[in-house]
Amino acid sequence: MSNDFTAEYPGKIIFGNGSMAKLAENLPADAKILLVTGKSFAKSSQMADLEHILANFAKIHVADIGHEAPVEDVERLIDIGRKKKISVVVSIGGGSTIDAAKAAAAIIPAEGKCIDYFHGKRKLFLKGLFFAALPTTAGSGAEITSNAVLTESQTKIKKSIRDSLLIADLAIVDPVLTVSMTQETTASSGMDALTQAIESYICGFANSVTMALAENSVELLIKNLVSAYNDGKDLVARNLVAQGSLLSAMSFSQSGLGAAHGLAHPIGSLLSVPHGKACAILLPHILDFNFEVCQGALENLAFKSGLENAEFLIRRIKKMKQAMNIPTDFSEYGLNPSHFEFILKNCKSRSMQTNPRKMSDKDILELLRKLCGKKSNS
Name which of 68 and 192 has its Cβ closer to Fe ion.
192
Supply the minimum distance, in Å, between the C-beta of residue 299 and Fe ion: 24
Could you tell me which residues are beta bridge partners of residue 132? 90, 170
Supply the minimum distance, in Å, between the C-beta of residue 352 and Fe ion: 14
- The count of residues interacting with Fe ion (CB under 5 A) is 1
Window of 82-90, 187-195, 226-234, 322-330 that interacts with Fe ion by CB under 5 A: 187-195
Residue nearest to Fe ion (CB): 192
Asked if 68 interacts with Fe ion (CB under 5 A), we say: no
Name which of 70 and 258 has its Cβ closer to Fe ion.
258
Supply the minimum distance, in Å, between the C-beta of residue 248 and Fe ion: 9
Mask 319-338, x = binds Fe ion (CB under 5 A)? Answer: --------------------
Residue environment code for 137-171, b if the CB has 16+ CB neighbours within 10 A, otherwise e: bbbbbbbbbbbbbbbbeeebbbbbbbbebbbbbbb
Supply the minimum distance, in Å, between the C-beta of residue 141 and Fe ion: 7
Name which of 33 and 181 has its Cβ closer to Fe ion.
181
Window of 21-29, 190-198, 222-230, 364-372 that interacts with Fe ion by CB under 5 A: 190-198
Supply the minimum distance, in Å, between the C-beta of residue 37 and Fe ion: 21
- Which one among 169, 192, 215, 219 touches Fe ion, defined by CB under 5 A? 192
Supply the minimum distance, in Å, between the C-beta of residue 273 and Fe ion: 12
Name which of 88 and 241 has its Cβ closer to Fe ion.
241
- What's the chain look like in SS3? CCCCCCCCCCCEEEECCCHHHHCHHHCCCCCEEEEEECHHHHHCHHHHHHHHHCCCCEEEEECCCCCCCEHHHHHHHHHHHHHCCCCEEEEEECHHHHHHHHHHHHHCCCCCCHHHHHCCCCCCCCCCCEEEEEECCCCCCCCCCCEEEEEECCCCEEEEEECHHHCCCEEEECHHHHCCCCHHHHHHHHHHHHHHHHHHHHCCCCCHHHHHHHHHHHHHHHHHHHHHHHCCCCHHHHHHHHHHHHHHHHHHCCCCCCHHHHHHHHHHHHHCCCHHHHHHHHHHHHHHHHHHHHHHHHHHHHHHCCCCCHHHHHHHHHHHHHHCCCCCCCHHHCCCHHHHHHHHHHCCCHHHHCCCCCCCHHHHHHHHHHHCCHHHHC
Mask 142-181, x = binds Fe ion (CB under 5 A)? Answer: ----------------------------------------
Supply the minimum distance, in Å, between the C-beta of residue 79 and Fe ion: 29
Window of 15-23, 55-63, 189-197, 285-293 that interacts with Fe ion by CB under 5 A: 189-197
Positions 235 through 264 that interact with Fe ion (CB under 5 A): none
Name which of 73 and 192 has its Cβ closer to Fe ion.
192
Window of 45-53, 58-66, 170-178, 188-196 that interacts with Fe ion by CB under 5 A: 188-196
Query: How many Å apart are CA 239 and CA 220, to the nearest integer?
Result: 10
Query: How many Å apart are CA 355 and CA 247, to the nearest integer?
Result: 20
Supply the minimum distance, in Å, between the C-beta of residue 285 and Fe ion: 16
Supply the minimum distance, in Å, between the C-beta of residue 94 and Fe ion: 12
Burial of 17 (0-12, 13-18, 19+ CB in 10 A): middle
Name which of 91 and 200 has its Cβ closer to Fe ion.
200
Supply the minimum distance, in Å, between the C-beta of residue 260 and Fe ion: 8
Window of 43-51, 117-125, 192-200, 336-344 that interacts with Fe ion by CB under 5 A: 192-200
Contact residues for Fe ion, defined by CB under 5 A: 192
